[in-house]
Amino acid sequence: MKIVETYSHLNGLEFLLVHKPNLWQEIQEVVASVDAEVCKTKVSKEKKMSGKLLYSPIGLNKTFARLLRSNGWHESRVKYWVTKSEKLIRKTLTLSAEEQKKEIEEAGELPIFSYNQTDFVKDRVAVEVQFGKYSFVAYDLFVKHLAFFVGDYIDVGIEILPVKFLQSQMSSGIAYYEGELYNVVRQGRGVPAVPLVLIGIAP
């Protein structure tokens, strides 16, 4: 596979080039190591593409996961507690999970356990490889990466997406680079408030 498009939001790519050039090089090498044709294994059952051989999102995800993990990228989870009270959430937002739960209980409210999880983190950089539906990418960009950044766990979030050319040879409903770029740009220059790099890949 190859990187054919990149978009730097809030100087995400510039940060990588200056502060984490080895990680940026590693990402490029991982993408280049993925043999897309090996993952062209899904026989379509959709009416418009019935019988056509498509790229398998599951196969591509597994290949990326294997390559990233072999380079030391690992899953990370941030645990926290929520409740129905806005004031209490604002008060506990910056506390540790244990302190959040204690504060909520002491206020007489019910603490509800939750967490944010990202698949690949290394040296304060998060990577999501997304061959899923549109809603999953929106969650990555506007919730997941932002939560890890605000919590001071990462400095940059990277989202790897198929460009439209590749997406057109996959199942319907899968998000693609050009569409998600539009979704980020239309929010304005400061939203989401986290440095990001959108990467568009193709065979």
Neighbours of 93 (CB within 10 A): 12
Give me the pLDDT at residue 100, please.
Answer: 95
From the first residue on, what is the mean pLDDT of each consecutive set of 10 residues in the chain (203 residues)? 98 98 98 94 77 88 96 92 94 91 95 92 96 83 90 95 94 90 93 96 96
Mind listing the pLDDT tens digit for each residue in 39-57?
A: 898 887 777 777 788 999 9
The two three-digit tokens of residue 162, written as one number:
């198929």
In the chain, what are the domain boundaries?
Answer: 2-76+118-202
Which residues, 6 or more positions from 64, have their beta carbon under 8 angstroms from its beta carbon? Answer: 30, 34, 129, 160
pTM as predicted: 0.88
CA atoms within 13 A on the CB side of 113: 3
Give me the pLDDT at residue 48, please.
Answer: 74
Strands 74-82 and 112-122: antiparallel
Burial (Cβ within 10 Å: 0-12, 13-18, ≥19) of residue 71: middle
Indicate the SS3 state at residue 10: coil
Contact yes or no for 83/112 (Cβ under 8 A): yes
Give me the pLDDT at residue 8, please.
Answer: 98
Burial (Cβ within 10 Å: 0-12, 13-18, ≥19) of residue 189: exposed
Yes or no: is domain 2-76+118-202 CATH 3.40.50.300? no
Strands 2-9 and 196-202: antiparallel
